[in-house]
Structure 1
Amino acid sequence: MEALKETQFQFPGVTGKYKGKVRDVYYLDQLMIVVASDRISAFDVILPRAIPFKGQILNQIAAKFLALTRDVVPNWVTAVPDPNVTIGVKCEPFKVEMVIRGYLAGHAWREYKSGKRQVCGVPLPDGLKENDKLPSPIITPTTKASEGHDMDISREEIIAQGVVSEADYMQLEKYTQALYKKGSEYAASQGLILVDTKYEFGKHDGTIYLIDEIHTPDSSRYFYADTYEAIQAKGEPQKQLSKEFVRQWLIENGFQGKEGQNVPEMSDEVVNSISHRYIELFEKVTGEKFQKRSYAGVESTIESNVLKSLKEISK
């Protein structure tokens, strides 16, 4: 099963490389070349098998939504020269992730269920059930850890600790609310609910830019709008569109990223099923038919597309 697991490109002018859980980032003087590989991670662990077309899917969903939200906030994208590649402005990232939640799900629900009535300093009313719609969307930022797990942090702590200046943080909040509103409207047009998502921002020449991917199933949680009310009334788990199905498969096979646990073997059948689910996610989230790229000579194709794009950008 062909997939793009890792890359070792020697692009001209590269000053450094960073290998993330999914992306390989090549740094130039003012730009970044970001290659979305087919690696997949869960519980902060990169799984042993790559998933065909996953990188293409994430890159193309992100490209679509970054283009759709450019009127809301400037973003880092300069070009998308290849299905797996985005080239953009090299920004200095803010050390917070802006998580916004319209519904009580995931981490926020676990905190609430444990008895807490505040998440990241934001008060929550009594009497809510899992996946209930919140009175209004709340921002629950986390620290952006270079190693280990991200940690919850409040607006007040961010400003008091100087993680982000007050003026910049207020702008990040405005951008986050506006992006979530736009993302929710688009999701509704596709019969979906954008439950929660995260945004990352950076600065370049004094301007704040939206960076990284947005509104992908790896960074967001979606519910199906047509069944939401009925399922909620019954108190049953919501049908959701996200990477959660991968986490559930791992849990069912005895893995949650804890010490002493081994990643279960991923057969061709499992890898294939995950690939099919990601294609379904792409088509449901974007409303477009997915066009599979060819893996024949994929690295040469990527290299050629990037070099051609860099030449255009430098003109």
Structure 2
Amino acid sequence: MSIANQVLAVNDDLPIRTDKPVHSGKVRSVYWLTEEDSHRLIKQKGYNVADNAPLAIMVISDRISAFDCIWHGEGGLNGVPGKGAALNAISNHWFQLFKDNQLADSHILDIPHPFIWIVQKARPIMIEAICRQYITGSMWRAYEKGERKFCGINLPEGLEKDKKLPELLITPSTKGILKGIPNVPEADDVNVSRDNIEASFQAFNFSKVEDITHYEKLLKDGFKVISEALDRVDQIFVDTKFEFGYVNDATGNEKLIYMDEVGTPDSSRIWDKTEYQAGNIVENSKEGFRQFLLNYFPDPDILLNKNRMDERFALAKHNSLPQEEIMKISKTYLNIAEKVTGKKVILSNNPKQEIIDVLRNEYDLIV
């Protein structure tokens, strides 16, 4: 069997019963179940959610996105073998660890297959919350230019690139385009301060202003749990993105939960600790792929300059990347998943058919 057949690149064409359009993101696709199917599954499976909670099937893919584009490789490789299963396995592991440490629940109710989650609908907090333990990436670029205030936080003089920060920092940005918030531009992914959030907490979708403190605690506690676990397998948790939302449980209580994915190579920077101590940065995350792209193309400004998006999309569309580079990324994802979970990620020979079979036989969700 060719490697290309083991890749799930298209994940929005499954015959899952739904009466709404399928939402397809860069990596995951979401199928909202009918009211009848949601209600039936809540009853049958005993999920701890409100009777009328909308449920969805979230299907991951092996697609790889970077710089807002989807990339492909030679030989019909439209994704990275093992990437989807590795991402889900890592997220599942951390979500379970959060639960074991009494932090908070996640939006995931069930995991029928390594590629799929059954999730409940949450009301999202409109913030991408970045936790940073080291100064690197966009924060370093701003610091190097002389900026000493980042997301409302005053930074001391004398910080060095890729070195540990004096304390863990929370540097939030907007999730989507938020309108009418004083001092916050109407654009996606704009850095905001805690003061901005507090002054307009309802615009960011917080139920009450006190929940901001709770969200910050969940951020720091979640980061600590993952950081300590990664340290035990000789990895450094550099920075990561968290997302949150509200749901109601079976008794009607509103609670703040973790959403999306956590602590994965897609949403985090993870460095090899032994190499770091020897003075080298070895990325065990998607950052390695980004660096490859910047070095591979003669004009990296296309990838960094948002005014050149048409050229960037053309670059991704018309360039098949070397297969060995795609397989290097595959190795990075599979290795870090196996380190985190302690288990081997088994590659599926026909992921699409496996998903259809399990959703038909065990959940009666296939038309």
- Shared fold (TM-score greater than 0.5)? yes
Structure 2 distance, partners of 1:227, 1:53, is 25
Structure 2 distance, partners of 1:154, 1:101, is 15
Which residue number in structure 1 is paired with residue 156 of structure 2?
125
The structural deviation recorded for 1:145 is 1.9
Alpha-carbon displacement from aligned partner over 1:166-204 (angstroms, at most 9, x marks no partner):
222221111101101111111111111111111101111
1:68 is paired with a residue whose SS is: helix
Structure 1 distance, partners of 2:98, 2:329, is 29
Match of 1:151 among 190, 195, 207: 190
Structure 2 distance, partners of 1:269, 1:218, is 20
The structural deviation recorded for 1:311 is 5.6
Alpha-carbon displacement from aligned partner over 1:234-292 (angstroms, at most 9, x marks no partner):
xxx52221111211221122254352242332233333332223222322333332222
Structure 2 distance, partners of 1:80, 1:269, is 32
Structure 2 distance, partners of 1:22, 1:146, is 21
Structure 1 distance, partners of 2:156, 2:114, is 44
Distance 1:13 1:272, change over 3 A: same
Which residue number in structure 2 is paired with residue 234 of structure 1?
none
TM-score, length-scaled by structure 2: 0.78
Distance 1:268 1:227, change over 3 A: closer
The structural deviation recorded for 1:141 is 0.5
Distance 1:308 1:126, change over 3 A: farther
Q: Give matches, 1:181-220, under 5 Å.
A: 181-205=224-248, 206-220=254-268
Q: How many residues align structurally?
A: 305
Runs of 4+ with >6 A deviation: none
Distance 1:58 1:170, change over 3 A: same
Q: Give matches, 1:45-124, under 5 Å.
A: 45-48=69-72, 49-70=78-99, 71-124=102-155
1:300 is paired with a residue whose SS is: helix
Which residue number in structure 1 is paired with residue 355 of structure 2?
302
The structural deviation recorded for 1:127 is 0.7
The structural deviation recorded for 1:94 is 0.9
Q: Give matches, 1:245-284, under 5 Å.
A: 245-254=288-297, 255=300, 256-257=302-303, 258=305, 259=308, 260-261=311-312, 262-263=315-316, 264-284=319-339
The structural deviation recorded for 1:210 is 0.6
Q: What amino acid sits opposite 1:265 in the alignment?
A: S
The structural deviation recorded for 1:309 is 4.8
Quick one: percent identity of the two aligned structures?
33
The structural deviation recorded for 1:6 is 1.1
Q: What amino acid sits opposite 2:169 in the alignment?
A: I
Q: What amino acid sits opposite 1:25 in the alignment?
A: V
1:157 is paired with a residue whose SS is: helix
Which residue number in structure 2 is paired with residue 12 of structure 1?
17
Structure 2: give runs of 5+ residues left out of the alignment. 36-53, 73-77, 179-186, 249-253
Which residue number in structure 1 is paired with residue 62 of structure 2?
38
Structure 1 distance, partners of 2:225, 2:240, is 12
The structural deviation recorded for 1:74 is 1.4
Q: Is the 8 A contact 1:15 1:27 kept in 2?
A: yes
Q: What amino acid sits opposite 1:172 in the alignment?
A: Y
Structure 2 distance, partners of 1:93, 1:172, is 12
